[in-house]
Structure 1
Amino acid sequence: MPHYTTSYSTKKRPAYRPGAAQHLPSANRRRVRKPGVQYLHHSQGFGRKTRRQMGSRRPQNSRRPYAFIAVGCAFLFFVASVIWYMNRSVDITLNGADAKARINSSIEQLIADQGLEPTPGKLLAVDDAVLDKRGGERVSVKLNGRQVDNDKLVETRLQEHDEVEIGDGRDEYEPHEVQATTIEPKLVTTGSGAIEYVKTWGVPGRSEVWTGKTSGKTFDRGVVKDAVDCVVARASVNPDVKGKKYVALTFDEGPSEYTEQIVSVLQQKGASATFFLAGNAVEEHADAAKAIAAAGFELGSNSYEDKSLTDQSTSAARKQISAGFDAIEQATGKRTALLRAPFAAFSERTWAETMDMVGAAVSWNVDSGDWMLPGADAVVSSVLGSVSNGSIVLLTDNASSGRQAVEALPALLDGLRREGYEVVSLSELIATDDDLAKALPTPGKVSMPKDAVLPRVAKTEE
């Protein structure tokens, strides 16, 4: 067995002699070794390795585990934040009281979380007899004022500040077949005056007979929806402006070869007017119609021909009205629904058959009588002697009376001004009456509601 020993005796350390060995650098000094002694080197497993043996580089990726840990923690924090945000509580109102609910939770979940136990409604036969005391709606739910069907409680999600009402289920009827009958609205007219318009549109009602699929019973449920009658109002203009008087001049049967002269006089005098044009006359004098529109005067229709609408069938009357409006639009580019029927003949039956086409039907309350050709002076005298605040004056612009209108108009306008009248269009006159203006804001337009229908009238032969 080899004899190992350290580089020095444990009994006595070697003494360094001054001299030869001590002149070397301390890092390279060599200790004196005894002859015949075997020494262990560091490379044999004792002591630590030198920098040369270990190498000059440090271990690679020594910090990578810490980076993984940091990223993992951040990811977990992010996931936790998302989960919290998606499941946070929000404030709602439940049956009139403040409450908390998980955001995006369903109404079904809210019922469970709140421990609500609503009583189901009854299942009724068609004659209201009870078939099942708990066979009706399971729970009645309103979300922000709107009823929610039971089959949508799971998919309907809650949000911040929602208002929820949860109560007992409503009674429901057994599955049944329905035989329905439409109740047509009636036409009612009210008031009096030269201006007529639809005040209330007619909406049909409904009566039903039910036959139950469970009970087999048949029962007349009667009227389940009342009809809304159509109301046509007649009114006169009562200007509300204190200290001022207004009158509207209207011209029928034009345009003619005299129309542009009438327009010129009105412009020179700073007056306005409304022209009710006949469709066939518009087609003959399209340039005159354009001149009226270019001057900014109000347009209405005098139907297509000078024929009474009340003497015609439904289809014929509608065709006359439609053709009159179309002719004006084609000539001037402007659409109107303001109508003066020929001879002011517009009956209840005509209203019932054509009200979806007409914004207002206008007659007059001062007839100048110019159509009888009494002369310009007589026309002026007749109008000035009859006019009052809010009057609608009838004048005629056709081939026979147009020249007379041109001659009478300057004196007529001057006379009205002397008496304190402001000469305006029909729509401008209506605007001076607050109540009428609210009821008829746009007399030249018509808008029939989607649920409205024309009132029932007696059939006429085509």
Structure 2
Amino acid sequence: MKDKSEKGDSPQAEAYPENVETLVIPGSHKRNKTGIIVAIFCVLVSALAALSVWFWWNNYRKFSVQVNNIAVQVTGKQSLSDVLTEHQDFNKKPGKLLSLSGKTLESKGGAPISVRQNGTSISAEQLGSTYLHEHDSLIVQNGKDVSEKHKVHEKDIPFSTSITTGGAIQFVEQQGKTGKQEYWVGDRSGEQVDKTVTVQPTELKINSLSPKPPADKKVIALTFDDGPSNFTAPILDILKSKGAKATFFDIGKQSAEMPQMERQILADGNQVASHSNSHPDLTTLGRDSLRTELETGFNAINTASNTKSRMLRAPYGAFNKQCWTDAADMVSSNIIWTTDTLDWKKPGEQEIKDQVLKHAYSGAIVLMHDGGGDRTEDVNVLPSIIDSLHAQGYELVTVDDLIKMDGRFPKWVANNEVAPQAN
């Protein structure tokens, strides 16, 4: 008989035979998987809902911004460019493209409208990528006008000329100097507009004085025009014999023909100066012709006499403001006269003498002629004129002498040189 305590004899053993596999039903696992799927779905739905809300909030929700201190409704998806387009740039306009003189070349060719977002400037290139946020503040303004591009040039500014007349000796007190000025030429319009003065011009100042010798001097200068000629030699002989000096304003062409006479004038202690080259009215000449006439005359006399002089007596005494403007760098002085004998009219020897003595005073400059016609009257009356002046105590000197003893003339005038260039 088996012991009931053995395993095989237990009631459980009888209920679950050893050769029968135990079956486990997985119902609880299915329920767990379903729960997970539902949870994930719910999360996805919630996330999608949240994303939708976020997307709507940031793109389609309308909110208020201030544009030029006025509330404007916008959405988050609108760029600044969109807002400006929707509101026609808030009635602001781009600037104009202007010519250098301010004429409109293009009504919208200037700078675009300007936009500041919360105080920060937004460039035109940034408008399409810049978005608005609630409570943003925008300032939209008209674009600025812009001038056309241009090229920079420089030009001369002519110097002005002032002239003080009244004295018998005209001279350069201060040389003129050309200034410089910048000017612009528009690329589109071609307009020319003056701009900055880079170098100020210096005024040419012409002064004039009548010789004023020292009180202890009693001097007169006799002057002879239009030579040299066949009448010059006898006049030189008279001057030399009387111990007198004179100044000869000679024509360049005639000096070139009679160089020995020019040298004799100087050898006798007299002065030679220019009366132009061909005796034109210098005031009728243009700048180039004037300068050529003067330079040719000076050169002819200098070559003939082997001396340098820049003293001039203009034909007819005519050397006006324009002449000085055109040739002040060539002329030391222009010598007029205080006494005109009118000898060229052939008034008679006594009339010529009377004119000299009637207007005699210390520092006088007497006009006579040794050329340009028949000067027999001058030759015949000259000894009597000199004797009469000597009898009155006058010494007959050159124009150079009058200038040097005066003391009021600039050193370049006293040295018969052109004035130095202005600084």
Q: TM-score band, normalised by the shorter chain?
A: 0.5 to 0.7
How far the C-alpha of 1:378 sits from its partner, in A, is: 1.6
Match of 2:222 in 1: 249
Q: Aligned in 2, Cα 1:245/1:303: closer, same or farther, shift over 3 Å?
A: same
| Counterpart Cα distance in 2 of 1:258 and 1:425 | 19
Q: Distance in 2 between matches of 1:272 and 1:294?
A: 11
Structure 1 residue 284 displacement after superposition:
3.0
| Cα deviation, residue 290, structure 1 | 2.2
Residues 228 and 262 in structure 2, CA contact (< 8 A), matched pair in contact too: yes
- Of 401, 410, 418, the match for 1:446: 418
Match of 1:122 in 2: none
CA distance in 1, matches of 2:183, 2:296: 44
2:271 maps to: 298
| Partner deviation per Cα, 1:83-135 (whole Å, 9 max, x = no partner) | xxxxxxxxxxxxxxxxxxxxxxxxxxxxxxxxxxxxxxxxxxxxxxxxxxxxx
> Following the alignment from structure 1 to structure 2, what is the Cα–Cα distance between the partners of residues 326 and 184?
28
Unaligned 5+ runs, structure 1: 1-176, 211-219, 453-462
* Alignment counterpart, residue 394 of structure 2, candidates 421, 446, 457: 421
Q: Which residue matches 2:324? A: 351
Is 1:271–2:271 an aligned residue pair?
Answer: no
Distance 1:304 1:221 in 2: 43
Measured at CA, do residues 437 and 314 of structure 1 come closer, stay the same or move farther in structure 2, by a change above 3 Å? closer
Decide which structure has greater helix share.
2
Give the 5 Å matches for 1:124-203: 180-203=154-177
Given that residues 282 and 314 in structure 2 are in contact (C-alpha distance below 8 angstroms), is that contact kept between their aligned partners in structure 1? yes
8 Å CA contact 1:246, 1:391 repeated in 2: yes
Partner of 1:364: 337
| Structure 1 residues 221 and 351: alpha-carbon distance in aligned structure 2, compared to 1, 3 A threshold | closer
Q: CA deviation at 1:439?
A: 6.8
Counterpart of 1:312 in structure 2 is: 285
Query: Which residue, 286, 294, 297 being the options, matches 1:324?
Result: 297
Contact 1:198 1:360 in 2 (8 A): yes
Partner residue of 1:112? none
CA distance in 1 between counterparts of 2:413 and 2:303 reads: 26
CA deviation after TM superposition for structure 1 residue 437, in Å:
5.4
Aligned 8 A contact 2:227 2:251 in 1: yes
Residues 311 and 206 from structure 1, CA distance in 2 versus in 1: closer, same or farther, beyond 3 angstroms? closer
Contact 2:168 2:338 in 1 (8 A): yes
Say whether the 8 Å CA contact 1:205–1:227 is kept in structure 2. yes
Residue identity (%)? 33
Give the length in aligned residue pairs: 265
Verify: 1:390 aligned to 2:347, yes or no: no
Residue 380 of structure 1: SS of its match in structure 2? helix
SS at 1:253's partner residue?
strand
Aligned counterpart for 1:376 among listed residues 342, 349, 352: 349
Q: Does 1:260 align with 2:233?
A: yes
Question: Which SS does the other structure have where 1:296 is aligned?
Answer: coil
Corresponding residue for residue 204 of structure 2:
230
State how far apart, in whole Å, the 1-side matches of 2:212 and 2:284 are.
32
| SS of match in other structure, 1:192 | coil
Give the direction of change, closer, same or farther, for the CA distance of 1:380–1:437 in structure 2 (3 Å limit). farther
- Matched AA of 1:226: Q
1:181 Cα shift? Answer: 4.6
Q: Which TM-score applies when normalising by structure 2?
A: 0.58
- How large is the RMSD of aligned CA atoms in angstroms? 2.4
Q: Secondary structure at the match of 2:283?
A: helix
Alignment partner, residue 307 of structure 2: 334
Corresponding residue for residue 253 of structure 2? 280
Name the CA distance, whole Å, in 1 between partners of 2:351 and 2:198. 61
Q: 2:309 is paired with a residue of what secondary structure? A: coil
User: CA offsets, 1:384-425, max 9 Å, x none?
Assistant: 001222111001001634322211111111111122211110
- CA gap of 1:198–1:399, structure 2 versus 1, over 3 A, is closer
* TM-score, length basis structure 1: 0.54
Counterpart residue type for residue 353 of structure 1: D
Find the residue that maps to 1:238 and give its secondary structure.
coil
SS in 1 for 2:167: coil
| Residues in 2 aligned to 1:369 and 1:271: alpha-carbon distance in whole angstroms | 21
Secondary structure of 1:432 counterpart: helix
CA distance in 2, matches of 1:363, 1:260: 24
Corresponding letter in the other structure for 2:215? K
Q: Deviations over 1:55-92 (max 9, x none)?
A: xxxxxxxxxxxxxxxxxxxxxxxxxxxxxxxxxxxxxx
CA drift of 1:265 comes to 1.0
Structure with greater Cα Rg: 2
Q: 1:425 is matched by which residue type in structure 2?
A: T
**Distance in 2 between residues matched to 1:181 and 1:202, nearest whole Å:** 17
Runs (5+) with no aligned partner, structure 2: 1-150, 185-193
3-state SS in 2 of match to 1:384: helix
Alpha-carbon spacing, 1:353–1:221, altered in 2? closer, same or farther (3 Å) = closer
